[in-house]
Amino acid sequence: MIKRIFFIMCAILFILTGCSEKQSINKKREVASDKVSSNVEENESTNVNKQRENSDLDTIISISVPKTLDDLRKTPPGRLSKDIPYEKETSQIWGDFDISEYKEQTLQKLKELTAVTDDVDTIFKGLLYYLGSNSYSQSIERLTDYNGGLYEPYLPQPGDIKTTSEKKIKSSGKAIILLDASSSMLLNVDGKQKMNIAKTAVGRFASTVGQDNEISLYVYGHKGTQDDKDKILSCSSIEEVYPLQRYVAKRFSKSVEEIQAKGWTPLAEAIKTAKAKTASLSGAITLYIVSDGAETCGGNPVKEARSFANENNQRKVNIIGFDVDQKSENQLKEVAKAGNGEYISAKNTNELDNSIEKKWVPSIYDVMKKHNSLLKNWGRTWNNLTERSALADRILYASYNEKSRFTQAIALMRSNHLLSEEKLVQLGNLVNHYQQNIVKEKEKLEKIKSEEENKELNRIQNKVLEWEKEMEQLRKSQ
């Protein structure tokens, strides 16, 4: 009996132990399964995050698609297209704008982007982010600032005459204008870029003194950048953009409009270059310098101004310091003094205009001689339509070249099966609509500029006519 009970108890223990082990094994299997599942989910999440990070998705999603030219001016250039030269990007390219130089990079970025999204709007933003034009800001600004070559002449008034000695007609001789186009001229005064203010003032001055006298325009600081790597280029680039001759409105305005502020300030080299170019000339020669800063290229402008003036007693160097600091003003004063000329300080646009009109423009009697040529000039100035159209075309061609890159990118996605055909068609439609909108906005701005120029032309013509009447009355009273 006892043996029987013992065997029964052993059997029960065996069964219980087996059940316990089975439960333990099952539990271990469940834990292991949970770990595997968790690791799979974790790896998938990590891969998605890595893909998202690599595709610049968050940045791309935050982009606002430009709808106006003002929007375009503020839009950063594409990461892969930012180094395309301005002249190339805004030129009429026959055939597709080749992206072979960065084709592999483009494809890689498109693969990364389409791996995390197939949203057409987002992918279009990606095209802007990687391949957008780098030239809208500059081309739109050039058209916006274009004044149609309409430089209002500085017209001295009878009230400016203070003594009878001023009745003697005097000639300014040859006028050599040196225009500072260093990077500091990109700063603003009165809400406008100093470079644009200075170009307008120089144009007005040339339109007045250049009627009966030969004028020349040199520019310096317009090459390279303000970076150290470009110092040699910038400091050695002095260019005569308008050769010595009488004032020709269209030719002079074209020369001025193309000037862009960029680099260093080789004032000494500019004076030296002007001296060398005029070495064979006799008679009165005056350098008229508009600058907003001191020498930054290591030259000695005081020495060069003295050397220029010492050529003969009819040479001098006149300088207007436009919105300069005290240190720069001190140097420019010394340059003018060494050049037997006069230094004038101008803190804003009005002071710049008043300084030129009161100090640089010849006497009222000298200007009176040329009032007929002034009238003739302003009566035929409306031949600048082609210049304005050429500036507008820069925007147009930039849009075409940008569209060409987008189209090639779509072709890459198609050949690599990155998107469905339906979505590729939708993307192509977005590209077409975007480019067509830019053209419409360009045409709006071109129309506005045309209306502004007509209005300004009429205002200047009327002002010159009124001045001419005053001069006739003054002449009769003499």
Tell me what the mean pLDDT of segment 435-449 comes to: 95
CA angle in degrees (0–180, nearest 5) for 356-238-230: 120
87 token code pair: 């002249």
Amino acid identity of residue 433, one-letter, is H
Tell me what the mean pLDDT of segment 18-42 comes to: 48
Comparing CA positions, the residue from 187, 93, 198 lying closest to residue 135 is: 93
C-alpha 231/C-alpha 289 separation (Å) is: 21
Backbone angles phi, psi at 224, to 5 degrees: 70, -145
Instruction: Provide, rounded to the nearest whole percent, the portion of the chain with pLDDT above 90.
Output: 50
**pLDDT tens sequence across 319-356:** 999 999 999 999 999 999 999 999 998 888 888 888 88
Comparing CA positions, the residue from 336, 335, 324 lying closest to residue 360 is: 336
C-alpha 419/C-alpha 111 separation (Å) is: 10
C-alpha 127/C-alpha 257 separation (Å) is: 33
Is the pLDDT confidence value at 163 over 60?
A: no
Residues making up the chain, counted from first to last: 478
Cβ–Cβ under 8 Å, residues 205 and 236: no
Biggest CA pair distance of the chain: 159
Cβ–Cβ under 8 Å, residues 377 and 249: yes
**pLDDT tens sequence across 66-101:** 999 999 999 999 999 999 988 889 998 765 667 888
Is the pLDDT confidence value at 25 over 80?
A: no
C-alpha 315/C-alpha 282 separation (Å) is: 9
Instruction: Write the burial class of residue 107 (CB in 10 Å: 0-12 exposed, 13-18 middle, 19+ buried).
Output: middle
Q: What is the rounded end-to-end Cα distance, in angstroms, of the chain?
A: 159
| pLDDT band at residue 385 under the 50/70/90 scheme | low
The three state secondary structure string of 212-232 is CCCEEEEEECCCCCCCHHHHH
Cβ–Cβ under 8 Å, residues 239 and 222: yes
Cβ–Cβ under 8 Å, residues 296 and 182: yes
222 token code pair: 């317009």
Cβ–Cβ under 8 Å, residues 349 and 192: yes
Domain 170-362 has CATH 3.40.50.410: yes
Taking the mean position of all CA atoms in its chain, how far away is CA 104? 30
**pLDDT tens sequence across 267-291:** 999 999 999 999 999 889 999 999 9
C-alpha 237/C-alpha 317 separation (Å) is: 21
| pLDDT band at residue 34 under the 50/70/90 scheme | low
pLDDT at 475: 64
C-alpha 169/C-alpha 347 separation (Å) is: 31
C-alpha 274/C-alpha 220 separation (Å) is: 11
Tell me what the mean pLDDT of segment 399-423 comes to: 95
**pLDDT tens sequence across 98-131:** 788 899 999 999 999 999 999 999 999 999 999 9
**pLDDT tens sequence across 397-407:** 999 999 999 99
Tell me what the mean pLDDT of segment 358-370 comes to: 61
215 token code pair: 């004028």
Instruction: Write the burial class of residue 52 (CB in 10 Å: 0-12 exposed, 13-18 middle, 19+ buried).
Output: middle
**pLDDT tens sequence across 165-196:** 343 334 458 999 999 999 999 898 888 889 88
b/e 334-372 (16+ beta carbons within 10 angstroms → b): bbbbbbbbbbbbbeebebbbebbbeebbbbbbbbbebbe
What rounded mean pLDDT belongs to the chain? Answer: 81
Cβ–Cβ under 8 Å, residues 47 and 416: no
For CATH 3.40.50.410, list the domain ranges present in the chain: 170-362
Query: Is the alpha carbon torsion for 376, 378, 379, 382 positive or negative?
Result: positive
Task: Give the ranges where 380-420 is alpha helix by DSSP (H).
Answer: 385-415
pLDDT at 454: 82
The larger pLDDT score, comparing residue 408 to residue 148, is at 408
Cβ–Cβ under 8 Å, residues 255 and 242: yes
Cβ–Cβ under 8 Å, residues 107 and 412: yes
